[in-house]
């Protein structure tokens, strides 16, 4: 096989794979998510909570949990609502979402975040955080279906 034939075959394979990726993204759907997350910590923190996914006219119960590592002090309650994109089935929301962030909440404050999991689901959430919390940390949030 000559070099140009091998190059041509490689390019065809690359475009075919790219086309498969685009077709699955083109068929992906979106839904709405609401989460209530309680967070507390002293250097190492933890979070837990629950929520719902509304997808294709049905409601699905969600559970959340996670760890924070870095500068974490205090406790807070955060209520987030928003959209989830790039899912084909409800279980695509389940997974681990990671983020690095910093914030300060004394009494209350606004919160907005965009997260992506290993399946490609994208959460675009905003809401309100109440409590006393100071953080500059790396955090992971795991969402599971109940």
> Hey, what long-range contacts does 48-51 have (CB within 8 A, 24 or more apart)?
50/146, 51/80, 51/143
> Does residue 16 belong to any structural domain of this protein?
no
**pLDDT tens digits for range 31-44:** 999 999 999 998 88
The pLDDT-based confidence of 77 (bands split at 50, 70, 90) is: very high
The overall average pLDDT reported for the chain is 82
Q: Do the domain assignments include residue 23?
A: no
Give the CATH number of the domain where residue 107 resides: 2.40.128
Considering its fold, how many domains does the chain have in total? Answer: 1
113 against 40, higher pLDDT: 40
> Nearest 10 degrees: CA dihedral of 56, 114, 63, 30?
10
- Cα-to-chain-centroid distance, residue 89: 15
Q: Is 19 a member of any domain?
A: no
DSSP count for the chain of H helices, then E strands: 1, 4
- Please report whether residue 131 resides in a domain: yes
Domain ranges, residue 65: 30-145
CB atoms within 10 A of CB 9: 11
């Amino acid at each position: 096989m000559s070099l140009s034939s091998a190059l041509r075959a490689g390019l065809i394979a690359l475009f075919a794979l790219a086309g498969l990726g685009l077709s699955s993204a083109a068929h992906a759907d979106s839904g709405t998510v609401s989460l209530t997350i309680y967070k507390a910590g002293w250097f190492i923190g933890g979070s837990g909570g629950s929520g719902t996914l509304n997808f294709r006219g049905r409601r699905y119960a969600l559970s959340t949990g996670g760890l924070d590592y870095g500068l974490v002090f205090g406790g807070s309650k955060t209520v987030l609502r928003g959209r989830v994109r790039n899912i084909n089935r409800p279980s695509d929301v389940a997974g681990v979402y990671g983020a690095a962030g910093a914030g300060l909440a004394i009494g209350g404050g606004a919160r907005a975040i965009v997260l992506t999991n290993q399946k490609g689901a994208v959460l675009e959430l905003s809401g309100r955080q109440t409590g006393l919390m100071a953080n500059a940390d790396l955090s992971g949030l795991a969402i599971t279906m109940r």
